[in-house]
Amino acid sequence: MREIPHWIDGTEVAGTGDRRLPVYDPATGERQAEVVAATGPEVRAAVRSAAAAQPGWRAASLSRRAEVMFRFRDLVDANRKEIATLLSAEHGKTVADAAGEVARGLENVEFATGAPHLLKGGYSEQAATGVDVYSIRQPLGVVAGITPFNFPAMVPMWMFCTALVAGNTFVLKPSEKDPSVSLLLADLLRRAGLPDGAFNVVQGDRSAVEALIADPDIAALSFVGSTPVARSIYEAGTRAGKRVQALGGAKNHMVVLPDADVDAAADAAVSAGFGSAGERCMAVSVVVAVGSVADRLVEAIAERIGRIRVGPASDPDAEMGPLITGEHRDRVRSYLDQPGGRVVVDGRTLPDADGPGFFLGPSLVDHVATDSAYYLDEIFGPVLSVVRAETYDEAVALVNTCEYGNGTAIFTRDGGAARRFQYDVVCGMVGVNVPIPVPVAYYSFGGWKASLFGDLHMYGPDGLAFYTRTKVVTSRWPDPATSEVDLGFPKVR
């Protein structure tokens, strides 16, 4: 059985632990590899390697750091197909979907190449007589990222590109369910000229995360995953004195007003609800149909679902692949037996839904009650719920009273309603006729409420702020002849 190693100090390192975690082929259900879960000493070795490399990497010029990011960007671009193919083999998403993930990750690499400009501080000449004041941004030191299974290439690039270009060194703990892409990215960073030890990968599960949280040399932690785990990591990390950004779960609402283009809204709901088998934190999981649009919209969505081709990544015509594991597939399936809604399209009827692979067809549930599991839980699979609302105000209230505040969208032809919606909703990311409003790389990604723990969002300007700290320097070069003792409060006039 193929064993997936760690990456420490610029090379692959075989695991020595006695716990082995399965990596499946989601299309067949077969165990294709094993992760040898990192031991405490192995995690410590990765952190020590990063700590040893950090002073030299911090001392590298901004131009040098940006040059490494430029080279890494070109290498990722040249190896898109290999990355996407490896990713889809372990995750199950189609190769085309995986390629799209790589493309969005590349945007973050490109943003990071602008660090020489983005890391500029401020300067105030003559803040007081003969005194200048200026601010500079400096790296934190060794930082760590804990990333989810659903985006094994993109989410790590959200984190480490910004962290590295700011002068930090990085330890990545990828998901144990699809970990191989992390090693390919590590090798591309090495080939791009990143010094050995500046980027390390430890494979494993919760025990590796706990070791990173406890390690005194880790200055900051970034996490993307479910809300319960995000809350736990935030609390444990901040208790340990670390800076933490922890992105949690979502229940993204797509509000469709009566004046919306029904065909466009149905296309968007299906695309955003079932892409990557619904295993996206920005997937639309609730369509809020307002007033008279509901029947027409449900009919249009159901008709489109019937045309979705579900199959393995090896099928070039497949539009949706399997779920990540059999356990997760069974959990998602179980919702279709729940009360609180009328199942219009049942994904369990797919011929392969009971086969060896982890397939489940797309499902549509109408007349969903807001106190049901369909509505309250983050299902994280291809189950799209439709909640009917009588008015715009009722629809907005649903978004605003939801526990989560990751993303939301409105579909309408009314510019005034759209403007009012983006003002009214309590949510971190808003789409207007855009179903998945993931910000471009020069903005930042993150939700509100139980979708984010911490003060700063991920990547973009917030990412640079998270991975740096500001130092303010007050400078004076006086004539020695004018020096004197003055115990009064410092003057600026």
Distance CA(246)–CA(220), nearest Å, equals 11
Q: Which residue has the tokens 């590298």?
A: 60
Q: Which residue has the tokens 């968007």?
A: 268
Q: What average pLDDT does the segment 205-217 reach?
A: 98
pLDDT at position 351: 78
pLDDT for 211 beyond 80: yes
Q: Where are the alpha helices (DSSP H) in 193-319?
A: 206-214, 227-239, 262-274, 294-305
What is the three-class DSSP state of 132?
A: strand
Backbone angles phi, psi at 50, to 5 degrees: -65, -40
Q: What average pLDDT does the segment 53-66 reach?
A: 97
Question: What is the token pair recorded at 387?
Answer: 């909640």
Question: What is the DSSP-derived secondary structure letter of residue 458?
Answer: B
Q: Which of 216-225, 268-277, 333-342, 345-354 has the lowest mean pLDDT?
A: 345-354
Per residue, what are the HEC states of 294-332?
A: HHHHHHHHHHHHCCCCECCCCCCCCCECCCCCHHHHHHH
Residue 113: exposure state from Cβ atoms within 10 A (0-12, 13-18, ≥19): buried
pLDDT for 482 beyond 80: no
| Torsion angle, alpha carbons of 263, 265, 267, 268, to 10 | 170
Confidence of residue 487 (pLDDT cuts 50, 70, 90): confident
Q: What average pLDDT does the segment 339-344 reach?
A: 98
Q: What average pLDDT does the segment 33-46 reach?
A: 97
Confidence of residue 483 (pLDDT cuts 50, 70, 90): confident
Contact 391, 293 (CB under 8 A): no
| Torsion angle, alpha carbons of 147, 149, 151, 153, to 10 | 70
Question: What is the token pair recorded at 163?
Answer: 């962290």
pLDDT above 70 coverage of the chain, percent: 99
Distance CA(428)–CA(233), nearest Å, equals 21
pLDDT for 314 beyond 80: yes
pLDDT at position 484: 80
Mean pLDDT, the chain, whole residue set: 96
AA identity, residue 28 = T
Q: Where are the alpha helices (DSSP H) in 114-218?
A: 115-118, 154-165, 180-192, 206-214
pLDDT for 174 beyond 90: yes
pLDDT for 352 beyond 90: no
Contact 146, 211 (CB under 8 A): no
pLDDT for 104 beyond 90: yes
Which residues are tagged catalytic? 281
Q: What average pLDDT does the segment 460-472 reach?
A: 97
Question: What is the token pair recorded at 369?
Answer: 């009650």
Closest C-alpha to 314, from 23, 24, 2, 27: 27
For residue range 117-168, list pLDDT tens digits in order: 999 999 999 999 999 999 999 999 999 999 999 999 999 999 999 999 999 9
pLDDT for 492 beyond 70: no
Question: What is the DSSP-derived secondary structure letter of residue 51?
Answer: H
3-state helix, strand, coil in the chain (%, to 5): 40, 25, 35
Distance CA(45)–CA(47), nearest Å, equals 5
Contact 25, 324 (CB under 8 A): no
For residue range 353-405, list pLDDT tens digits in order: 677 899 999 999 999 999 999 999 999 999 999 999 999 999 999 999 999 99
Q: What average pLDDT does the segment 338-348 reach?
A: 97
For residue range 402-435, list pLDDT tens digits in order: 999 999 999 999 999 999 999 999 999 999 999 9
